[in-house]
Amino acid sequence: MSRKLTTVVLGTILACFSLLSFQANQPVEAAAAASSGKAKNVIFMIPDGFSTAFATNYRLFKGQPSVMDSLLVGMVKTYSADSALTDSAAAATAMATGHKTNNGMIGTTPDGIRHKTILEAAHEQGKATGLVATASITDATPAAFSSHIFSRDEESDIALQQLGKADVLLGGGKDFFLPESMGGKQKERNLLEEAKRSGYTIVEDRNQLQSASGGKILGLFAGRDMAPELDRRHTNEPSLKDMTAKAIDTLRKDKDGFFLLVEGSQIDSAGHYNDAAWAMKDTQAFEEAVALALDFAKKDGNTLIVIVGDHDTGGMSVGGYGQIGAKLDVLHQVKASGIFMADRLKSDRSNVKEVLKTYANIDVTAAEEAKIKSAKDAMQAINGVISERALVGWITYLHTGVDVQMYAFGPGSDLFRGLHNNTELPHLVAQVLNIDFGNDGHKK
């Protein structure tokens, strides 16, 4: 036998042994799921407002690849039915129902048709369902997966629809579950009491969340949106990782599997305020939640994870201000959001130097001090100073219309490769879950 042929034979034998060894070390369910492209569970994760510039700047901020980088599979088109620039309501409706709608509309198309969401379809098939967000749980993204309404602003009505749709709801938005007599936004109903009677465990802070048990949990940790990750230490709110962990631990007990939506809502808020440090810190918080979910999925072997932004916010750049390079290390010194710092300024803003030194470790120049003192909006001026020092540019306080990246891991993840319209995503999820997603809708 020639040396070349011997090498080929030995290589083939070693490859066979390697494959057999790999298969022997995999759970039977995991191997079957991977080969069939079917999964029992789906964790659908949305970093709201996240785009390629956020991903690149975060990699520079972290100093190494993010957990998500190796999971990149494709890109997603985000436009809405009435604009090239979608809002979160229309984008989430597309990803939840498979239908484009106008900006501001939730789970309903412009013709008044209410379309079933992928969460509702999973619920109908007997799966446990959950919603996690760092905004109000009644905000546009979680609302679009669990309710149907003409305007995203009707958050009290959204709250009414959400109970019973999801077994676990964790986020802000307590105001929308309480009656006006208790300082809430509901006309008369106390949805917390109704939820309790329906079997939900009600929790309102980090400690209560950690000790909560049972199959149904309603956690409302702020009146409206939860705090930015930068400011969380001043609260008793759980982190996105904490909420994701509790949701998975609760939902995984259902023998039929689960569908969980997790939104890193505050990334979008940071983009709207052009707050570079807030953006990086909440991206870090989102990555920690992704790492936890990924660890579960790897051990479980029967869980698909899909990670996709709904749109870009702010038009962030990597580098800028007429300089070459990036200085993301500057942001490691920032210990509070621009909102938090602006709130600590005196009425005459005479303490600009002290506030920026205390919370951002910045010795402001005379020009920077004058800029913040004279600005109509001190928060925007503070964020501008910090962004310029980090060489993180911005073009808007609104959304942009660029495509956004998508990541996936687990059974069926190959289906998400390539460039997709956001309306395709719930159909692909339904295919992986092997559930009926007949979605012609009906008028209200």
Please state, in angstroms and rounded to a whole number, the distance separating the CA atoms of residues 114 and 139: 18
Classify burial at 265, counting beta carbons within 10 Å of its beta carbon; exposed 0-12, middle 13-18, buried 19 or more: buried
Which sign does the torsion angle of CA 193, 195, 201, 206 carry? negative
Nearest to 51 by CA among 308, 301, 284: 308
Rounded (5°) CA angle 377-383-384:
90
- CA distances to 1, 99, 124 from 10, rounded to whole Å, are 12, 54, 53
Which candidate in 88, 156, 265, 387 is catalytic?
A: 88
Nearest to 139 by CA among 170, 113, 100: 170
Where do runs of H (alpha helix) occur along 74-127? 88-97, 118-124
Q: Strands across the sheet with 128-136, in order?
A: 201-203, 217-220, 168-172, 128-136, 258-264, 41-47, 303-308, 404-409, 72-77, 418-421
Please state, in angstroms and rounded to a whole number, the distance separating the CA atoms of residues 374 and 88: 33
Nearest to 433 by CA among 262, 258, 253, 308: 258
Strands 72-77 and 418-421: parallel
Strands 201-203 and 217-220: parallel
Please state, in angstroms and rounded to a whole number, the distance separating the CA atoms of residues 33 and 168: 26
Please state, in angstroms and rounded to a whole number, the distance separating the CA atoms of residues 318 and 392: 6
Query: DSSP per residue over 398-441, as a string?
Result: SEE---EEEEEESTTGGGG-EEEEGGGHHHHHHHHHT-------
Please state, in angstroms and rounded to a whole number, the distance separating the CA atoms of residues 175 and 155: 9
36 has catalytic annotation? no
Query: DSSP per residue over 180-239, as a string?
Result: GGGTSSBSS--HHHHHHHTTPEEE-SHHHHHH--SS-EEEE-SSSSPPPGGGGGGS-PPP
Please state, in angstroms and rounded to a whole number, the distance separating the CA atoms of residues 189 and 304: 38
Catalytically annotated residues: 88
